[in-house]
Structure 1
Amino acid sequence: MLVIPYHKQSSFPCFQLHPHPLIFHLTLPTMKPITTPLYLSLFFITLFLTGQSQPYTPVDNITLACGNSGQPTNDLLRTWTGDVNSKFTPIGNASESITAPMSSTASQVPYTKARLSRSEFTYTIPLSPGQKFIRLHFNPDTYNNNFQRSNSLFSVTAAGFTLLKDFNASVTADASGGSPLVKEFCVNIETGQRLDITFTPSKDAYAFINGIEVVSMPTGFYYTSSPNFIDTSASSYPIRNDTALEMVYRINVGGGPIAPDEDTGMYRNWDSADDKYLDYLSKQFSVLPQNNTIELNFLTVPEYSAPKRVYTTGRSMGMNTTINKSYNLTWIFPLDPKFYYLVRLHFCEFESDITEVGDRAFQIFIANQTAERLADVIVWSGANGNPVYRDYVVGMFKPPVGSEKKVNLYLVLAALQKYSYTKYNDAILNGLEIFKLSDSTGNLAGPNPDPRTQVDAPKVPPKSSPGKKKSTPVVGIIAGVASGLVFSVLGYMVFRRRWKVKDSGSCNKRMKFTTTPGSSYRCRCFSLAEIKAATKNFSDAFIIGAGGFGNVYKGCIDSGVTPVAIKRLKPESSQGVHEFETEIEMLSELRHRHLVSLIGYCTDKGEMILVYDYMAQGTLRSHLYHTNKPSLPWDQRLQICIGAARGLQYLHSGVKGTIIHRDVKSTNILLDDKWVAKVSDFGLSKGTTDMSTTHISTNVKGSFGYLDPEYYRRQCLTEKSDVYSFGVVLCEVLCARAAVIHTEELKQASLAEWAKSCHEIGELDQIIDPSLRGNIIAECLNKFTDIAISCMHENGTERPSMTAVVRELEHALQLQQSAEGKSKCPGRNVETETSCSEQNCATNDSIKCISATIFSEINNPSGR
């Protein structure tokens, strides 16, 4: 056994000899309570420091500073007891005991020293019966050069449960934000039992521990017999005494961090960073209400349920009904697969406007399943200012994608679709806790995170991880919105299930890419030398476009004969391997006049490069707004829309099965030298060969402003999601403005919502491109706006198919061309035989009339 001390501890002249009196009494229960004036002075000092006495007093409150002797402490409010030469000295091989300095800069007990061993050792702790917290404190570091930081690999068992298996503390700490690291578990101790905690090193590795806490909890607090079980396979899932729990997340939503000594007596740590788990839209639009003056009444749940600060802050969608129709409040939490989880949500209505039943009602979805169809905190708690929590158990058994070791749990709060049930179409959450439940074998251990590049013996170890691992969002529904890229997984998605369409030829070369060994595609495999030659070694002079994925270059291949567009993905691109592979897989199998053609790819030396036909006229968006290019005439815009619609029609119904593009937008519609529209960018596409499938359950991805709200809300992808996005494109074509403008006033931020609201109140003239006014035949405008509005219907089943969209757009073009053949609209450069009549050209006044009458049967839905 190796005991490693640290340098001279920090001193606290006023308090270092006087621990927290209440804790002192609890830690040593055989001692009589101190009743001297000194004790009373310390008692009132404690009340001053903590603000109030704690609502729960644990029966057992053991804190071991491993590798220490006596009671070394620089913690004002807790007493840490050393395990050296005490009743807590572990049983094991002690022949290796030496003393050496620790290289870490940690100066807080219990991280100032450590106990290490290359052999198994066990702590035996006598306890009273009941349910307990076990907290294991780790500060991974290199100890005296004999124990390298990266070589700490071991397992931990306690009370018959496997808490950790082949646990790499340094890798885990780096992935979670840096040292120190605390792992918290819950176990039940039967009458007459003791707690044995055993550390077993893996082969050629060592085990270590800096500190151990064992703290009692109220009976039945987390061991609840009746949580809401979110699964159709069972109606209940009691958390019995033969279950162990691991705390995975504990968050003070919308508020600041809460330290263990500020908890309710159980020394729990509450994180504050719920925003790092939010999806893009939630970060943009959610608000942080708080009320620090409200008097809380714990009538429904015990006062020790959570600190009062948890219930006086929160995160809500806000009171703007229009905005709340456009997004859901969504968090994404990465979890270990193949376990059940207890999800505890803390609520308290503290806003003065929310006092009655029905004032604020909303929906709750957990792991893409409905947890609450009608959540009303006032109903649950009884009144404003009354805290309450709700427990849910959910199974996370979907296997990870590729090499990913985590699966994402989506927690979604959604505004109600019908306003009749609520006064404020809003949702709120104050706090949350997520616990992993042990499996049938008593195991809680999950895999270690993927390791980072490590230095075994750094002179000054990093205080935090150089690159904190992010959750993928995507997407609650859910997330992943943020220009369609926020929740894309970077470079880890491998060995995915392949989807094949009908054979259309042989592949020229076999793909040299590690994610799909031996796979082949029906397109050309370029060498990096060929790509460099085509782009003059990626010269900036050849760049024709750029984005989050990287640069697009114009190049020439085949001895300079064939012009091409070359997209080079950056290593840090959020599109990553999965999207790269999908693009190749889809486009190498598909050939259509209105789909961009993929010529080939390059994967030499870790590159991810795609080579396409060169589209001389660029993107559709580049001809609509933010451009110096001439305005496109209306009939040409119509022809472009028809071409793009035909491309989507082919994807939805022109091949074996259905392909859903999932990122339809004006920048993904390209124009060749003859102005033929071609749909591009298939990195997010999904396909199925099962013709009976009505939807695909998948993480939400897409681009902000174009995303189907029904898909975002329910996470069920259908071809009607593409139809919605195409409806937004039609609005862009008509209005010549972006799908989202953050600088516009709130009601105009979303083009889709603005177009529908203007149409509903008869103000369609406000959104049409000024260059088109007087140039669109009234009947054609009627037909076009009818198509666009119907495409963006809230209910996907009521949207037209792309076949119907193509047919109606062709009809609109016929109406326009037929009228142009007979007349000339003012302001157009089209020579025709006769002058324009008021009936043929849509003026501003007639547009108002059209908007108010022709589509009066199409109502703007009340919510999402």
Structure 2
Amino acid sequence: MGGPLLTPENDTLGRRWENDAEYLHVNSSVLVVTANPSSIKYSVSVTQETAPNMVYATADMMGEDANVASPSFNLTWVLPVDPSFSYFVRVHFCDIVSQAMMNTLVFNLYVNDDLAHKSLDLSSLTNGLRVPYFDDYVAHASGDGLEVLKIISPVKSLLFPGGGFNKKVVFFGSAVVAVTSVLLIAVCCYCCLAASRKKSPQKGGNGNGNGHPWLPLPLYGLSQTSHKSNTASCISLASTHLGRCFMFQEIMEATNKFDECSLLGVGGFGRVYKGTLEDGTKVAVKRGNPSSEQGMAEFRTEIEMLSKLRHRHLVSLIGYCDERSEMILVYEYMANGPLRSHLYGGELPPLSWKQRLEVCIGAARGLHYLHTGASLGIIHRDVKTTNILLDENLVAKVADFGLSKTGPSLDQTHVSTAVKGSFGYLDPEYFRRQQLTEKSDVYSFGVVLMEVLCCRPALNPVLPREQVNIAEWAMAWQKKGLLDQIMDGNLTGKVNTASLKKFGETAEKCLEEYGVDRPSMGDVLWNLEYALQLEETSSALMEADDNSTNHIHGIPMAPMESFDNSVSIDIVDRGGVNLGTGTDDDATTSAVFSQLVHPRGR
């Protein structure tokens, strides 16, 4: 409220935040106040991904000509809605007006004529000033209310014909005790596909059973299932990134009753089917095995993790179903399936070297976002070629977060946990010490790199003993400088020598025995991008010096200078998304990654 237009380039999740002026019912009753964006104090539960600091640093308060003494005075916003739908509402608050005293800002929050939150005291909720806070609601358009995100009905689409926007909605923020009040409300436009889904009203009232036209949403809780009927009364998860709660009948219709002809694969969690929703959207439906001991834990972990994440290189979760004790997850459909099927064991045409590099870069971006995008970081713990999926354009996306774990806090170096993962990809240090770090994912990704190059499984027990484990076998050839002798025969004579060398060096660093000697995913991403550049150039390449810093012919070589290990590097996604800031993790930087910390290395 009161802030400038924020475009997707200014938001970490690519959302658009509009100024509220055109929605204000009475402009003269409002005075815009601002604060220094850097003064906003984010918490563990409210981060930059929740809303940019500029959203919390601007606000509307009652103007000088407003009759603030009147108990009926309201700050009012009016928006057009379609009465045929229900809507998701998220309101953002931050007390940037109070200077020192707490508990001086108290107001009521109304949606329609219903009291959504009585005597809302921001300082009590946040234990401080300038600390952001948000709350979520579902509003029904049968009356008047602030309608923000459509919740799709089973019998209607988002393009409901003939409905039109014939209702106005009014959102009231009523001041009752405080001399001044601040109300911030934002529309999470980026999450339109994540709107909750409610079944058409049936006998017995609305979905929540209490007759209220809105209901607060629980934080990361699963849907509430009625044991008195075969349908679930679904309450959407709090995060707007999570999709709708499907009815089991919808899943049956989408998969043609789990037709075996639609089976895409079988994993540790269960079977995966191809499905089609009523609007024609193709989806992948993962049905958990009820006899699996870890099934429910992985089911909950996957939902909770994906509710916090959204990235171009992470598979998106559309929704879930837990009706009838089912554990069903519905994902976006990845037309080209797992990376492994393009490497061996199938009849698909082989990927070119450039395509393989682009796939590895996409997966590295997804993992780098996992490690740095969340407040504490997330460790995937099961990185392998079957969990890297390709869409119709061969864009790689990381999938399967059932084993994922929140990373260590700032004052910790690791997370102590039981060993889980896939044999052949397990970090040996994690296996020995049961201490999990982001570098465990780096090791697994190193195995993936060798798998991409050699087109063979991570473990193959039918081979001679020294060849069973691809990591050990490929590392032996890499150390001899003969990695080209074991690469996929389809690549022979088609790979730029300098690009292959950089790729091999990167994989070698990932597969170091100790995590402290491995690079971060940001460094891995950088080097893979560099290998792709070397592949794309048609000019002759030459070695700059013995430390494997490569030089592209025709581009002047900058004189080598001493460098400072503290130099930070911004890793930027090609789509414009800032992927974080990387710094060199090792006290002695290896020759392989010298260009990563050198200001002119690239």
- TM-score (normalizing by structure 2): 0.51
CA distance, structure 2, for counterparts of residue 724 and residue 513 of structure 1: 40
1:708 aligned residue: 427
**Bigger radius of gyration:** 1
Task: Give the root-mean-square deviation of aligned CA atoms.
Answer: 2.4
Q: Secondary structure at the match of 2:319?
A: strand
Q: Which amino acid aligns with 1:794?
A: E
Map 1:147-546 onto structure 2 (within 5 A). Answer: 508=196, 511-512=222-223, 520-521=237-238, 522-546=242-266
Provide the secondary structure at the position in 1 that maps to 2:537.
helix
How far 1:732 sits from its partner (Å)? 0.5
Change (3 A) 1:856 1:590: closer
Q: 1:764 to 1:565 in 2, by over 3 A?
A: same
Q: Note closer, same or farther for the CA distance 1:822–1:798 as it changes in structure 2 (3 Å cut).
A: closer
Q: Distance in 2 between matches of 1:660 and 1:729?
A: 16
2:373 aligned partner: 654
Residue 856 of structure 1, CA deviation:
10
User: In 2, Cα distance between the equivalents of 1:651 and 1:548?
Assistant: 22
CA distance in 2, matches of 1:719, 1:815: 28
Choose the corresponding residue for 1:770, options 475, 478, 489: 489
Q: Which residue does 2:396 correspond to in 1?
A: 677
CA apart distance, 1:633: 0.4
- Alpha-carbon contact 2:320-2:328 (below 8 Å) kept: yes
Contact 1:507 1:520 in 2 (8 A): no
1:612 aligned to 2:300?
no
Task: Pick closer, same or farther for the CA change 1:809–1:589 going to 2, 3 Å.
Answer: same
Query: Secondary structure of the equivalent of 1:511?
Result: coil
CA distance in 2 between partners of 1:816 and 1:761 (Å) = 22
Q: 1:530 Cα deviation (Å)? A: 0.4
Deviations 1:549-608 (A, max 9, x none): 222111111x24100000111112354111111111111221100000000111111110
Distance 1:779 1:527, change over 3 A: same
1-side partners of 2:389 and 2:497: how far apart?
Answer: 28
CA gap of 1:747–1:658, structure 2 versus 1, over 3 A, is: same
Q: 1:743 is aligned with what amino acid?
A: V
Cα displacement string for residues 406-460 of structure 1 (whole angstroms, at most 9, x for unaligned residues): xxxxxxxxxxxxxxxxxxxxxxxxxxxxxxxxxxxxxxxxxxxxxxxxxxxxxxx
Could you tell me which amino acid in structure 1 is paired with residue 222 of structure 2? M
Task: Say if 2:601 is the partner of 1:601.
Answer: no
Q: Which amino acid in the other structure matches residue 595 of structure 1?
A: L
Question: Which SS does the other structure have where 2:490 is aligned?
Answer: helix
Give me the whole-angstrom Cα distance separating, in 1, the residues matched to 2:462 and 2:475.
Answer: 20
- How far residue 546 of structure 1 moved from its aligned partner, in angstroms, is 1.6
Partners of 1:513 and 1:727 lie apart in 2 by: 42
- State how 1:560-639 maps to structure 2 within 5 Å: 560-639=279-358
Which one is further off, 784-793 or 568-577?
A: 568-577
Cα displacement (A) at 1:688: 3.9
* Match among 494, 499, 511 for residue 792 of structure 1: 511
- In 1, Cα distance between equivalents of 2:502 and 2:514: 20
Matched, 1:755 2:443: no
In structure 1, distance between residues paired with 2:375 and 2:360: 24
Residue pair 2:499, 2:535 contacting (<8 A) in 1 also: yes
Give ranges in structure 2 of 5+ residues lacking alignment.
1-187, 198-220, 226-233, 542-589, 594-602
SS in 2 for 1:589: coil
In the TM superposition, residue 511 of structure 1 has moved relative to its aligned partner by 2.6
C-alpha distance in 2 between matches for 1:814 and 1:656: 32
State the AA in 1 paired with 2:243: C
Matched to 2:467, the amino acid is: Q
CA distance in 1 between counterparts of 2:492 and 2:467 reads 20
Aligned counterpart, 2:384: 665
After superposition, give the CA deviation of every residue in 1:294-323 in whole Å (9 maximum; x if it has no partner).
xxxxxxxxxxxxxxxxxxxxxxxxxxxxxx
Which runs of 5 or more structure 1 residues have no equivalent in the other structure?
1-502, 824-854, 859-864
Q: Give the letter aligned to residue 318 of structure 2.
A: I
Three-state SS of the structure 1 residue aligned to 2:307 is: helix
Contact 1:656 1:689 in 2 (8 A): no
In structure 2, the partner of 1:475 is none
Does the 8 Å CA contact 2:196/2:236 hold for their aligned counterparts? no
Letter in 2 for 1:512: S
Aligned with 1:776: secondary structure? coil
SS of match in other structure, 1:618: coil
Per-residue deviation, residues 175-226 of structure 1 (Å, max 9, x unmatched): xxxxxxxxxxxxxxxxxxxxxxxxxxxxxxxxxxxxxxxxxxxxxxxxxxxx
* SS of residue paired to 1:554: strand
* Paired residue type of 1:525: C
1:686–1:612 distance in 2 versus 1, CA, 3 Å: same
Contact 2:442 2:510 (C-alpha < 8 Å) held by counterparts: yes
The 8 Å contact of residues 784 and 809 in structure 1, kept in 2 or not, is answered as yes
Find the aligned partners of 1:658 and 1:582 in 2 and give their Cα distance: 15
Partner amino acid, structure 2, of 1:508: S
Q: What letter matches 2:272 in structure 1?
A: V
**Letter in structure 2 aligned against 1:733:** V
SS in 1 for 2:275: strand
Deviation at 1:512, TM superposition (A): 2.8
State the distance in 1 between where 2:254 and 2:405 align. 32
Given that residues 511 and 525 in structure 1 are in contact (C-alpha distance below 8 angstroms), is that contact kept between their aligned partners in structure 2? Answer: no
CA distance in 1, matches of 2:515, 2:388: 23
In 1, the alpha carbon distance for the partners of 2:264 and 2:459 equals: 24
Please give the alpha-carbon distance, in whole angstroms, between the structure 2 residues aligned to 1:662 and 1:527. Answer: 31
CA drift of 1:694 comes to 1.4
Write the distance in 1 (CA, Å) between the matches of 2:292 and 2:377. 28
Name the structure 2 match of 1:548.
Answer: 268
Distance 1:551 1:857 in 2: 42
2:224 and 2:434 mapped to 1: Cα distance? 31
Quick one: percent identity of the two aligned structures? 55
**CA distance, structure 1, for counterparts of residue 269 and residue 326 of structure 2:** 12
CA contact (8 A) 1:555 1:565 kept: yes
Amino acid at match of 2:464: E
Q: CA deviation at 1:693?
A: 2.4
Change (3 A) 1:683 1:628: same
What is the count of residue pairs matched by the alignment?
Answer: 321
Distance (whole Å) between structure 1 residues aligned to residue 592 and residue 401 of structure 2: 36
Q: 1:665 to 1:812 in 2, by over 3 A?
A: same
Q: In 2, distance between residues paired with 1:672 and 1:640?
A: 11
Structure 1 match to 2:458: 739
Within 5 Å, give how 1:842-861 maps onto structure 2. none
Aligned residue in 1 for 2:544: none
Take 1:822 and 1:760, find their aligned partners in 2: how far apart are those partners? 25
Paired residues of 2:407 and 2:438 also in contact (CA < 8 A): no
Q: Give the superposition deviation at 1:513.
A: 6.2
In structure 2, the residue matched to 1:818 is 537
SS state of the match for residue 552, structure 1?
strand
**Aligned partners of 2:223 and 2:237 also within 8 Å:** no
1:575 touches 1:683 (CA, 8 Å); kept in 2?
no
Q: Distance in 2 between matches of 1:691 and 1:507?
A: 34
Give the secondary structure class of the aligned counterpart of 2:506: helix
Tell me the CA shift for residue 659 of structure 1: 0.3
Please state if 1:724 is matched with 2:435.
no
Going from structure 1 to structure 2, the CA distance change for 1:774 and 1:528 (only over 3 Å counts) comes to same
Shift of 1:758: 1.9
Shift of 1:764: 2.3
